[in-house]
Amino acid sequence: MREALITRKTAETDISARVNLDGSGAYDIQTGVGFFDHMLDQLARHSLIDITLKATGDLHIDDHHTVEDCGIALGQALAQALGDKRGIRRYGECHLPMDDAQVRCALDLSARPFLVWNVNFPTAKIGAFDTELVREFFQALATHGGITLHIDQIHGVNSHHIAEAAFKAVARALRMAVETDPRKGDAIPSTKGAL
């Protein structure tokens, strides 16, 4: 079973993250940050990775610690569920249109974390949510998931659409990358023999 449960407790947040890579996109996400919950729902739904995430954090300060630490926990859960990555496709990509916005994602489950972020939000907030936290989430996810992650905004004028297109593009690319490749069997998808 390609599943994992990560619990992470600090002085700032208390998080439980469960993933099932072979799910149907079911989700139960409660972080206390409404817009972020909506984005994580999209991540689960479009990746077909079941995600259960419960987080309590120091929201009286701001949303930063909660959003970043959820990225850390989800990244760790993905890495744990992937194990030695035998038989996976490893690479994924998607051009995702959403109304005025189009975002491109390309990723490699390489165990070499790196984020390339070419996204510009026209507003500092989406409702009460700081748009700069979208990058913070993906930085944490990439770092702790061992993902080489490239996210590029092709165009867009609405911050909500841009953010949602980014989450959905990453989701669709993840869906592709974590899938098992029937032509590979139990092979590790690297000439090095390890990822």
Residue 187: which region, alpha, beta or left (left: phi > 0; alpha: psi -120 to 50)?
A: beta
Is the pTM of the predicted complex or chain greater than 0.75? yes
Please answer whether residues 171 and 46 qualify as being in contact, where contact means their C-beta atoms are separated by less than 8 angstroms. yes
Cα gap 145→143, rounded to integer Å: 6
Cβ neighbour number for residue 194 with a 10 Å cutoff: 8
Give 101-131 pLDDT, tens digit per residue: 999 999 999 999 999 999 999 999 999 999 9
Q: How many CA atoms lie within 13 A of 86 on its CB side?
A: 7
pLDDT value at position 143?
A: 98
| Low-confidence spans in the chain with pLDDT less than 50 | none
Backbone angles phi, psi at 84, to 5 degrees: -85, 5
pLDDT value at position 42?
A: 98
pLDDT value at position 1?
A: 87
Please answer whether residues 121 and 162 qualify as being in contact, where contact means their C-beta atoms are separated by less than 8 angstroms. yes
């009460």: which residue's tokens? 128
Largest CA distance in the chain: 51
pLDDT value at position 185?
A: 84
